[in-house]
Chains A and B, each alone.
Chain A
Amino acid sequence: MATTRTRVSSFSHNVSSLKSSQHPGLKNGPNGTTFVSSGISDLDKILGGGFSLGSLVMIMEDAEAPHHMLLLRNFMSQGLLHRQPLLYASPSKDPRAFLGTLPSPGSSKDDTSHKPSHEKDLRIAWQYKKYFGEPQLNINTNNGGHHDYCNDLDLRKPLERHFFTSNNVDCVSIQNSPNLDALKDRCAEFLAQFSRNEGSISSAGRIAIQSFCSPQCKYSDMEWHMLSFIRSLKGMARSSNVVVVVTFPPSLLSPSCSKRLQHMADTLLSVRAIPDEDKELAKLLTGYQDMVGLLNVHKVARLNTQVPVILDATTFSIKLQKRRFLVFECLNQAPVDGSGGSSYGNSGVCSTSTKAGPLDF
């Protein structure tokens, strides 16, 4: 009977036993990394567990759609639910007002009804099966403790105020500052609380920077300044137990700056808008009515290892289930005649060509 066992090499990292009971927001990852949830269970599954602590996640926005805000909201809310301190920077005048739109865990527990339960119904035709009591081959979907690690967040239900009126949320407005030094100092201060040492992880933090090079910021034409800010932020984050999420609109930058920012990311995602009421798209994709956009996963962070992650699919559709819950689904496409076109179209950088480029930092 073939059981799937993760291949353990002879050198296994001596991970200090991480307490899923004490820290529900943290999960052990491969190669000695620790994951925190992104707030969206589908995204956690796609990325293999969540966002790694110490990594830099960059989300490329689409100028025509606000989907990056959905991702940010779930990310921030999940952190607050796990009592992880948060630093939020945005180009609006009053970033605190955004906290009022953070989602709260949904009350309905029907998340299993929409998931295709194909794995549970795997039936094997085996003549000796009759002799055994229960079916032996039920695939374990790891539901134990799942609800604590990643909540199903209801985007229509605002998060209760007590989660963010306490002093673990810090908001910064980057609109009026002439350069990024003030933000860099705030980030450094925040990251210093979570510096990684040999002991076990006491707590994790999250930094969310929204619309990093938005045109109303005064520093938005100082490209090298922005690049060096991101680089130093990434360096500081690597040695601390924090996940940094930065969203930026690549269409507002020069192509070289945008490429450099993309290369700097450990995990790179992009969201794209879809045209409304487009008959061609409706014919091509099933479930088009519920879709609000597309998510592309370009790169997945792999810390402490050189083995890259190769995903089966890199393009997912963003749907709002019941207009509340954010889900990502694989695209279901009608069979096409297969004439021409590579299998991933123009959907961006292949996940294997990560840091092998001529740029070296």
Chain B
Amino acid sequence: MAESVCRSLRDGVLEGELAPALTIKDSLSSPFGFNVFSHILVQLSSHIVAGKSQSRGMVIVSLSRSPSSYTGLLKMNGVDVESSKKWIHILDCYTDPLGWKDKTRKSGDIMDPSNQILSSYKTVKDVNKLFSVICDLGRGLVGENKSRFCVAIDSLSELLRHSSMQSVASLLSNLRSHDQISSIFGLLHSDLHEERALAAVEYTSSIVASVDPFHHSVDGQGSYIRNSSEPNLTKGKLNIRSKRRNGRVRVTCEEFKVGPSGISFAPVSAVDGAAVAGLIPKVQFNLQLSEKELVDRSRVVLPFEHQGNGKPIQIYDGRRSLEESNNETTPISGGKKEESGRGEIIYFRDSDDEMPDSDEDPDDDLDI
């Protein structure tokens, strides 16, 4: 559920652990990543303003959209941006990420000094500096004490465009291990990057929410007209994989619908079974015993086990059958023939010189 994702971001980090990091991944076949991102942004902001979340402030690193669009978005959703207690700061990496305007401008730069919540950042390629600026801004929001803040990165794709995968991965892991950061979340467009960059970002994040087309294509090649029908432009599926603390992965799926008022989520109607068969080998027999089976097994009385309980111990020596299992009177020696109506087989020993064991049924010595 998007609810659970928002909740885990809101609850933040436990002491001594890495902060939860959400990566929202979308692609051309279902380009609604920003809708999901803004939904989560709005939710988290309202939690912060209401004081219900662990983080007391938010730093938005806006790379692909202008800061004013964020203030507009928050205002439209009823979140008070201009409140007296400063809780949000937007780092503007959109207007001039590489500092070109400074180089071309002859006069001094014209910055709006009255804007309290905005700062401009001009060296996106220097990821270390970005990290320290984010931390400083956050600390400015929440103070030096134990309060925490959360970080929203508008587009990890933009960051990956400007700098190497290693530096982005180290930025994410440094942010996660910073002791004043409560949670981070970012947006990524999966078809812009190589597999390895995607894998690296997924490796460093704890929740991966991928925005998929409504009719899931079987081979994920990305060609977005899969069916004969039109691609669905308002609906899609959100597949969430979150890493839990005990090492298991929680996989959930939701449908979403994008409308003029925003995005809405609904639990998915039909669940298709996950392919778990590949995980386990096809062992056909259960080789262990359950508790009941163990108890039953211990109750089985084996042959010879009931001997010696007061009765004399009898050892079969091959010449005569044991008396307990022998009900019929079969003469061993002698030539008497008996008839009975049951059709028995009567065997007469020819002589006593024969080996004593050769004529006896080997199962006769079983004492059951």
Contact = CB atoms under 8 A, between A and B. Distances in A.
A118 interface: yes
Interface in A204-246: 214-218, 220-221
Interface in A304-327: 313-315, 318, 320
Contacts of B278: 345-346
- Please classify how large the interface on chain B is, using the bins under 10, 10 to 19, 20 to 34, 35 or more: 35 or more
A182 interface: no
Interface stretch (B45-53, B211-219, B221-229, B242-250): B242-250
Nearest to A312: B287
Interface size class of A (residues with CB under 8 A): 35 or more
A67 to B, nearest CB: 5
Contacts of B164: 221
Contact of B281 (A92, A220, A343): A343
A185 interface: no
Contacts of B282: 336, 338, 341-345
Interface string A335-354: 11010011111110000000
B270 interface: no
Interface string B232-250: 0000000001011011111
Nearest to A345: B281
Interface in B279-304: 279-290, 298, 302-304
A216 B204 contact: yes
A274 B200 CA distance: 20
The CB with the most chain A CB atoms within 10 A, among B196, B241, B290, is that of B196
Contacts, number: 158
B191 interface: no
Interface string B170-210: 10111001000000000000000000100110111000000
A130 B288 contact: no
A345 B174 CA distance: 39
Nearest to B271: A279
Contact of A280 (B243, B274, B281): B274
Contact of B248 (A116, A216, A274, A344): A274
Contact of A276 (B166, B248, B279, B298): B248
Nearest to A93: B177
B109 interface: no
B204 A314 contact: no
For the complex, would chain B's binding face be called helix, strand, loop or mixed by DSSP majority?
loop
A273 B279 CA distance: 9
A64 interface: yes
Contacts of A286: 286, 290
Interface in A153-187: 175
Contacts of A335: 284-286
A272 B250 contact: no
A318 B303 CA distance: 40
Interface in A282-299: 284-286, 292-294
A66 B247 contact: yes
A126 B250 CA distance: 54
Contacts of A361: none
A234 B146 CA distance: 45
B14 interface: no
A275 B298 CA distance: 37
B247 to A, nearest CB: 4
A188 interface: no
B204 to A, nearest CB: 7
A125 B273 contact: no
A322 to B, nearest CB: 13
Contact of B279 (A64, A127, A294, A343): A294
Given A67-B247, A125-B303, A331 B280 contact: yes
A252 interface: yes
Contacts of A220: 166
A143 B248 CA distance: 34
A215 B304 CA distance: 67
Interface stretch (B20-28, B88-96, B308-316): B308-316
B133 interface: no
A118 B31 CA distance: 58
B276 interface: yes
B77 interface: no
Nearest to A69: B247
A124 B199 CA distance: 56
Most buried by A among B246, B248, B279, B290: B279
A277 interface: yes
B243 A65 contact: yes
Contacts of B241: 64
Contact of B280 (A91, A217, A345): A345
B367 interface: yes
B254 interface: no
A276 B250 contact: yes
B276 A278 contact: yes
A221 B280 contact: no
A130 B313 contact: yes
A223 B274 CA distance: 34
Interface in A57-109: 63-67, 91-93
Given A273-B248, A315-B281, A123 B302 contact: yes
A200 interface: no
A281 interface: yes
B76 interface: no
Given A125-B303, A127-B315, A331-B281, 18 more contacts: A93-B177, A127-B307, A214-B169, A216-B170, A273-B248, A275-B248, A276-B249, A278-B251, A286-B286, A335-B286, A338-B282, A341-B277, A341-B282, A345-B278, A345-B280, A345-B281, A346-B278, A347-B280
25 contacts: A92-B177, A93-B174, A116-B288, A123-B302, A125-B302, A127-B303, A127-B307, A127-B367, A214-B169, A221-B165, A251-B199, A273-B249, A276-B251, A286-B286, A286-B290, A292-B248, A293-B247, A293-B248, A294-B280, A330-B287, A333-B286, A338-B282, A344-B281, A345-B281, A346-B278
Interface of B: 164-166, 169-170, 172-174, 177, 196, 199-200, 202-204, 241, 243-244, 246-251, 273-274, 276-290, 298, 302-305, 307-308, 313, 315-316, 365, 367
Interface of A: 63-67, 91-93, 116, 118, 121, 123-131, 175, 214-218, 220-221, 249, 251-254, 272-278, 280-281, 284-286, 292-294, 313-315, 318, 320, 330-336, 338, 341-347
